[in-house]
Copies of this chain bind each other. A is one copy, B any other.
């Protein structure tokens, strides 16, 4: 019988992995954070508004908001002087998630709900027209697909050899 059976092996944390995707996963790689950021993009700011919109329990919401603030994606600021309550707003780092969030929305618009549907989630406010799908273009302007790209490991990412 092995002694190791009684040693605890904690969940492998991702923060120490110096890989872009691991960092993104550590920041918003859970279901609640994505929905919180989505609501923040819509303009939701208060605790109760987040809770009503997402339907998550208060304890979980508190921890997720704390985590997003610690990650620099949201900023918590008291409103007024009485500090009766605070508001959460997107930082520049949080707003920079727009392309990623938009790409995720367009992906599910097309591949989860079906091609027949028109994209409806994000519209250009000026023209009231949907935003066309994001495209990946190289520096010379031509469209590139996955096959045209090389994914580098990046520091901290293991070099996986297929």
Residues of A within 8 A of B (CB): 12, 14, 18, 20-27, 29-31, 34-35, 38-39, 41-45, 49, 52-56, 72, 90, 93, 95-113, 120-127, 129-140, 144-146, 148-154, 158, 160-162
Q: Which residues of B contact A20 (CB under 8 A)?
A: 104-109, 112-113, 121
Q: Select A125's contact among B21, B105, B140, B150, beta carbons within 8 Å.
A: B150
Q: What 9 A-B pairs are tightest by C-beta distance, nearest first?
A: A100-B103, A53-B160, A20-B108, A43-B162, A99-B103, A24-B104, A25-B31, A23-B108, A124-B138
What is the chain B residue whose CB lies nearest that of A98?
A: B146
Q: In the complex, which residues of chain B have a beta carbon less than 8 angstroms from the beta carbon of A35?
A: 21-22, 25
Contact of B129 with A42 in the complex, beta carbons under 8 Å:
no
- Give, as a whole number of angstroms, the nearest-CB distance from A112 to chain B: 4
Q: Which residues of B contact A150 (CB under 8 A)?
A: 122-125
Q: How far is the CB of A102 from chain B (nearest CB, A)?
A: 6
Residue of B nearest to A13 (CB): B31
CB atoms of B100 and A42 under 8 A apart: no
Task: Specify which chain B residues have a CB less than 8 angstroms from the CB of A107 in the assembled complex.
Answer: 20, 24, 96-97, 99-100
Q: In the complex, which residues of chain B have a beta carbon less than 8 angstroms from the beta carbon of A127?
A: 138-140
A99 touches B129 (CB 8 A): no
Let me know if B134 and A99 touch, CB within 8 A: yes
* Cα A120 to Cα B153 with chains together (Å): 9
Shortest CB-to-CB span from A40 to chain B, Å, is: 10
